[in-house]
Amino acid sequence: MTTLEDLRQRVRSQLMGFTRDQQQVAVLAAPITSSDTSLTLDTNTARNISRGLVEIDDELILLQSLDLSTNVATIIGGINGRGREGSVAASHSANALVTMSPAVPRVRLTEAINQAIMAMYPKIPIFSTTEITKLAPVFEYALPADCTEIWYIVSDTVGPTQVHYPSPRWRFNPKAPTSDFASGKSIQLLDFVTPGRAIRIVYTKAPVELVNATDAITVSGYDDRMSETIIWGALARLIPSFEAARLQQLAVEGTERAALVPASAATKTAAYYEALFQQALDLERNRIMDETPNFAFWQGG
């Protein structure tokens, strides 16, 4: 099962290339808390780190100095140097990797991956089901709070036929009064259903962001087969940053490479991945409509 960490590694590999330059990495010699203002590095790797931005797990930290006699690095501004660039100050265990000036920070990878996941909805619906029992005098019923759209409704029939017939006449109210329906969502059922029979409502809901490194894609609500699509969407969102880097040719290498890598190369590459992303969404949408037709199908629409 593909996890958030798997997605980050695959996106990073696509961005940097499989033969990318090796980043300078050290190792924490002792754990640190979310409020520590210094950190101790392993003796054998401490020299790989210097003043500047470092990454530990998902946190970005600004270092002021490093004392090689003790291998203790001081964080600039105390606690203000923790959780930089939109990351969150956190505890880190001994032997955690300390990466100097990460080319693509993990926090940016996570953001792009979740942006791609959110962009898949509503074209790619996530299904959930709820059941209610028909009550003779009641025509409006509460729905779960995560319901965003009704996909289809079927009702039990009386007798041994075991047929679940479609119910085409209903109205979804996404702004139902909370005084009557705690979730703020309700459905009005206008077809006749024998009281006491079960009514099954298949609805769609929005995806959930991946947070922990071990979160599987299925935590978002999408199937694992969507991993490649998510990667393409994340790449389309990250690659334009390489175009912005051309605006400041501060390094000799960057200046020399500017003539070899044409302007708008990153923009064109991002457009390529966005096209792959959208094509994959269209194919998945067609598959879903074939396998799980919605209410329009039952009504001949």
What angle (nearest 5°) sits at the alpha carbon of residue 9, between those of residues 8 and 10?
Answer: 95
Bridge partners of residue 285, in order along the sequence: none
Label residue 16 by pLDDT band (50, 70, 90).
confident
At how many degrees (to 10) do helices 4-16 and 227-238 cross? 50
| Six token digits for residue 247 | 């605006």
**Residues 145-182 pLDDT 10s:** 999 999 999 888 776 666 677 888 899 999 999 999 99
Task: Identify the helix (H) or strand (E) that includes residue 291.
Answer: helix 265-291
- All residues at 6 or more sequence positions from 63 whose CB lies less than 8 Å from its CB, including other chains: 49, 50, 51, 52, 53, 54, 73, 74, 75, 76, 81
Confidence label for 296 from pLDDT (cuts 50, 70 and 90): low
Kindly state the tokens that stand for 273.
């991945």
Place of tokens 């990318």: 20
User: What is the spatial distance between Cα 123 and Cα 121, in angstroms, rounded to a whole number?
Assistant: 5
Neighbours of 237 (CB within 10 A): 20
Predicted confidence (pLDDT) per residue in 214-260, tens digit: 999 999 999 999 999 999 999 999 998 877 655 555 554 555 555 55
Q: What residue type is assigned to position 163 of the chain?
A: V
Confidence of residue 18 (pLDDT cuts 50, 70, 90): low
Beta bridge partners of residue 55, listed in sequence order: 60, 99
Compare 123 and 253 and report the one with higher pLDDT: 123
Helix (H, G, I), strand (E, B), or coil: what is residue 82?
coil
